[in-house]
């Protein structure tokens, strides 16, 4: 048994070492004009499935957290964007994030960080709190797959019904994962890509197993609140329940996937409202779809919906007022 554990540890170590050089977190700096968002600890952002820090060039690129991090920096926050495998399990992504959290702690001298994760980034940051709670001041999940997504369940069901599709589909999605890394100017092979592991992690059954192992902040009822503070860690969540929020926005295609979830009701196009619940709910009914939650695409949203940039700034101030 000890030999098996040692071999597994070495394999995991080699896997993570291969991505370490290219997964260093990126600090977002801007001349501060106020201290409104100046938290005690750095704020560290983690993207979801198929995510990135920035794709394209400096002149014609696109940030995942569109306009959000520069605004926080202008308001005094010490803010960082992290990069993990676009498609892989919550545990693999969590180990990649852990390396970057340790780098941020070393660079800033901060004892802890405030972690914010969107979509699959939610379970990813929860992994850090599960294995290194001493590193975490707060966890905030945004439109997160804390209890999984029926969309992932459907994908796995199709795989089970037609197993012949597994290899070609996973190959295509793994190629997409590599393309996302390449578009960030990195070697695609420096990251492990595993779309099937991603689908399993995002399924309702996979998410339930993950929650059993990492229960901190998780609600005990189907759609209730989790612990607002647990093991000294402050827990928050917010999410949208919109689908087509702006007809000019390409993310309107999420209307199709929303229909796979409770007939198109009470979800953001990919994640059910109740699945996104974690810790203290800030709000669970924003008129945002899954991409609006990170101010995509290019800030297009419903006319009267709250500006995500404002919501994140206000949340940073909330953390500040809690002494975090």
Q: What is the pLDDT of residues 240-260, one digit of tens each?
A: 999 999 998 999 999 999 999
Q: What confidence tier does 30 reach under pLDDT thresholds 50, 70, 90?
A: confident
Domains and CATH numbers, the chain: 2-321 (3.40.50.1820)
Give me the mean pLDDT over the 76-101 stretch.
98
What is the C-alpha separation between 89 and 18, in angstroms, rounded?
A: 16
Note the pLDDT of residue 12.
36
Active site residue 193: no
Strands 54-55 vs 62-63: parallel, antiparallel or unpaired: antiparallel
Give me the mean pLDDT over the 173-190 stretch.
95
Give this prediction's pTM: 0.92
Give the N- to C-terminal CA distance of the chain in Å, as an integer: 42
Q: Which residues pair with 115 in a beta bridge?
A: 44, 139
Q: Which of 56-60, 85-89, 207-211, 275-279 has the lowest mean pLDDT?
A: 56-60
Note the pLDDT of residue 306.
97
Active site residue 290: yes
Active site residue 310: no
Burial 190-215 (b: 16+ CB within 10 A, else e): ebbbbbbbbbbbbbbebbeebbeebe
280 contacts 225 by C-beta, under 8 angstroms: yes
Q: What confidence tier does 15 reach under pLDDT thresholds 50, 70, 90?
A: very low
Q: Cα torsion at 55, 57, 62, 65 (round to 10°)?
A: 80
Choosing from 85, 119, 237, 275, the catalytic residue is 119
Choosing from 89, 290, 292, 315, the catalytic residue is 290
Among candidates 154, 192, 176, which has minimal Cα distance to 55? 176
Choosing from 268, 284, 292, 315, the catalytic residue is 268
Choice between 30 and 272, residue whose per-residue pLDDT is larger: 272
Q: What confidence tier does 21 reach under pLDDT thresholds 50, 70, 90?
A: very low
State how far Cα 37 lies from the chain centre: 21
């Amino acid at each position: 048994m000890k030999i098996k554990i040692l071999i597994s540890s070495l394999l995991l170590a080699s896997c993570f070492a291969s991505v370490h050089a290219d997964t260093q977190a990126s600090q977002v700096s801007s001349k501060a004009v106020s201290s409104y968002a100046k938290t005690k600890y750095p704020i560290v952002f983690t993207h979801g499935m198929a995510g990135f820090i920035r794709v394209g060039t400096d002149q014609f690129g696109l940030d995942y957290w569109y306009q959000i991090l520069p605004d926080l920096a202008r308001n005094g926050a010490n803010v960082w964007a992290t990069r993990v495998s676009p498609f892989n399990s919550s545990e693999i992504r969590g180990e990649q994030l852990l390396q970057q959290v340790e780098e941020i702690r070393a660079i800033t001298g901060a004892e802890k960080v405030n972690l914010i994760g969107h979509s699959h980034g939610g379970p990813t940051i929860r992994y850090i709190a599960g294995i290194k709670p001493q590193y975490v001041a707060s966890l905030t999940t945004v439109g997160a797959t804390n209890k999984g997504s029926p969309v992932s369940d459907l994908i796995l069901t199709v795989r089970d019904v037609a197993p012949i599709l597994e290899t070609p589909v996973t190959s295509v999605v793994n190629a997409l994962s590599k393309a996302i890394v390449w578009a960030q100017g990195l070697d695609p092979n420096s990251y492990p890509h595993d779309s099937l592991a991603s689908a399993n992690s995002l399924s309702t059954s996979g998410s339930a197993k993950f929650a059993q192992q990492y229960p901190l902040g998780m609600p005990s009822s189907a759609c209730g609140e989790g612990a607002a503070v647990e093991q000294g860690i402050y827990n928050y969540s917010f999410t949208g329940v919109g689908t087509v929020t702006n007809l000019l926005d390409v993310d309107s295609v999420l209307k199709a996937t929303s229909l796979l979830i409770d007939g198109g009701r009470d979800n953001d196009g990919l994640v059910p409202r109740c699945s996104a619940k974690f810790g203290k709910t800030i709000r669970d009914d924003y008129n945002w779809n899954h991409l609006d939650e990170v101010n995509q695409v290019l800030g297009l949203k419903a006319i009267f919906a709250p500006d995500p940039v404002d919501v994140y700034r206000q949340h940073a101030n909330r953390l500040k007022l809690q002494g975090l």
